[in-house]
Structure 1
Amino acid sequence: MTPKKEQMTMKQMMSRRAVVRVPSGPASIETIDVPVVEPGPGELRVKIGAAAINPVDLGVAGGLFHQLALVDQPDYTGLGWDFAGTVEATGPGVELPGGTRVAGFIDGFDRDHGSHAEHLLVPAANVAVVPDGLDLVEAATVPLNATAAAQLVDLLGAPPNDARRLLVTGAAGAVGAYVAALAKDRSWQVTGMARAADEQFVRGLGVDFTTDLGQAWDAVADAGALQEDAFRAVREGGRFIGMQPAARLPEERGIAVEVVFARPDGALLARLLARVATGELPARVHAVAPLDEVACAYQAMAQGSIRGRIVLVP
């Protein structure tokens, strides 16, 4: 093998990945080169085409989950949950052909890899094929947020005939918007809470709108993580559903308290992506940034007041 060909082979065997070693916010993020790994049984390797930045990513980069003892990586912690890309290689038992466009998310905080990278190994059962007509940048904004919302609404189930009033906090946010739209499908009488500037968007989901918590709701889906304030808005004997990593609140006044932590589900995600592709559910992209500018993109996300996601592209 000539030196030039050997250099090309070595380059092809490496992949960039965004990580933090001593997490202290966006400035602590760096990109490193790691070897490309072959997929094992039931796994596939995705060549990342787009990866969204979520609020949970800011928490990891800022060290929040290290402080909570949820991360204990010896060298560095990988960043990123959501991804969309193409199948590059498959392990035994995986039938998806190379080049298939897929999307998904990886869960858990304690890992040295993430989706803010050029390549990613994932269980094949955790991904869904991206429908025609939906580009990878849009698809990358869907998996974590829509799956979390759908699993929350599944937990809610269908409402009793005499207790149908549901308040969704953070209804203009990525998770809250999906909760509002999906809960409406289950026959809940949904009111979305958001800032006045977001009224048109929230009403466009087909639900009512408010800027105040109000009181005596039959159920509250706390996508906005208002915690105790939102809990006080639930009527006696009602239901309160929060989302991890928010803490589980103690039960009182006969209120049933539940907490959702999103888990990958390829079949569920496939149904959600299909609805996004037809326009039934939103895909909201705020901006696109190159992976090389990951620290700047995190900083922009941390400034807040962003509707939609900043999406990284390798």
Structure 2
Amino acid sequence: MKAVGFFSFGGPEVLQVVDRDTPHAGPGEVRIRVGAAAVNPADTLIRSGASPLRFQGSEPIIPGLDVAGTIDEVGLGPDADLSVGDRVIAMVNPTLRNGGGYVEQVVLPGSWVVPAPAGADDAEAATVPLNGLTALRALDQLDLATGSTLAVTGAAGAVGGFAVQLAKVAGHRVLADASSADAQLVAELGADEVVPRGSDVAEQFRAHAPDGVDAAVDAAAIGTPLLGAIRKGGRLASVRGVSGQRAFEKAAERHGVQLFATLVHDYDGRPDRLDLLRQLAGEGKLTLRVAGRFRPEEAAHAHRLLEAGGVRGRLILEF
């Protein structure tokens, strides 16, 4: 079968189309004929060697953390809810033996797989798992009472955009940052107030929440400067590492802000959380943004575009 992978870490040029043996579903597993795999920043870190992840499989290393497609083989028992021919989505952990989702066929535990959102094609559906679960995990960690005020940074991005929409579904007031070019997009995603992105973002948020917001989802990795926007006793979920992590932790302690590190793989094998996202996407409460579609042979180009910045939505490899 066709896959996209690499034999040595490096720039986008190391990505190549390779042939791999076709996998088969064992007990408790399903095989998905992949129609689409999203290209995420985590994939570029894996490819470059900047990711701290360690890989169990043999070379080539196959990136890709989320897929959409059709089940074409089932190794589950007769009581399983999944059947051949079902359109599905799943998050993939590329550190495991079978590798990531840049493949024509991927085998996963049945508990990692849920039906695809109603009305979404494979490319649209593939934008949901990784970024949706990251945003949902952050909000679950913050555990806010209905009606709380939440600040979201990086709101025009995939994780930040989902965080805005999930927070609105939960009944929160949402303040978000955006560049002037993205302000309308973020407002359309549902943010109650959109402030300019920049070094004074905490002051900008305080202008709309003088007592401080109850919590923040930091999808832009702002870190310490964001703490000033949060009230004492508030909470902050970081969806990726920030520079000066130890200094950040000490500053949070001084501000009386509780920090949470959001690890999306905490939700590996949590079909209840992924199925919630599927339902919300099917109801139109989550916006599925596809920024571009590429053949596997164009994977290096997709990585270059993503690393250049400014992509709104997800770039998709279509198999």
TM-score (normalizing by structure 1): 0.87
Q: Give 1:124's aligned residue.
A: 110
Q: How many residues align?
A: 296
Q: Give 1:89's aligned residue.
A: 73
Q: CA RMSD in A?
A: 2.1
Shift of 1:185: 2.8
Q: Does 1:281 align with 2:283?
A: no
Amino acid across the alignment from 1:98 = V
Q: Does 1:299 align with 2:304?
A: yes
- CA contact under 8 A between 1:25 and 1:63: conserved in structure 2? no
Shift of 1:222: 0.4
Shift of 1:72: 6.5
Q: Give 2:127's aligned residue.
A: 141
Q: After superposition, give the CA deviation of every residue in 1:140-177 in whole Å (9 maximum; x if it has no partner).
A: 1111111111121112223387xx33210001110101
The alignment partner of 2:82 has SS state of coil
Cα distance, 1:69–1:148 mapped onto 2, change above 3 Å: closer
Q: After superposition, give the CA deviation of every residue in 1:65-115 in whole Å (9 maximum; x if it has no partner).
A: 1xx364476533211011000001011324522111000111354656211
Cα distance, 1:119–1:179 mapped onto 2, change above 3 Å: same
Q: Give 2:202's aligned residue.
A: 214
Cα distance, 1:306–1:114 mapped onto 2, change above 3 Å: same
- CA contact under 8 A between 1:77 and 1:110: conserved in structure 2? no
The alignment partner of 2:20 has SS state of strand
Shift of 1:132: 3.5
> For structure 1, which runs of at least 5 residues remain unmatched after alignment?
1-14
Cα distance, 1:194–1:90 mapped onto 2, change above 3 Å: same
Q: Does 1:169 align with 2:153?
A: yes
Indicate which of 91, 95, 103 corresponds to 2:89. 103
Q: Give 2:220's aligned residue.
A: 224
Shift of 1:260: 1.1
Q: Give 2:209's aligned residue.
A: none
Indicate which of 33, 46, 50 corresponds to 1:47. 33
Amino acid across the alignment from 1:86 = T
Of residues 73-82 and 141-150 in structure 1, the stretch that sits farther from structure 2 once superposed is 73-82
Aligned mates of 1:112, 1:127 — CA distance in 2: 16
Of residues 209-218 and 185-194 in structure 1, the stretch that sits farther from structure 2 once superposed is 209-218
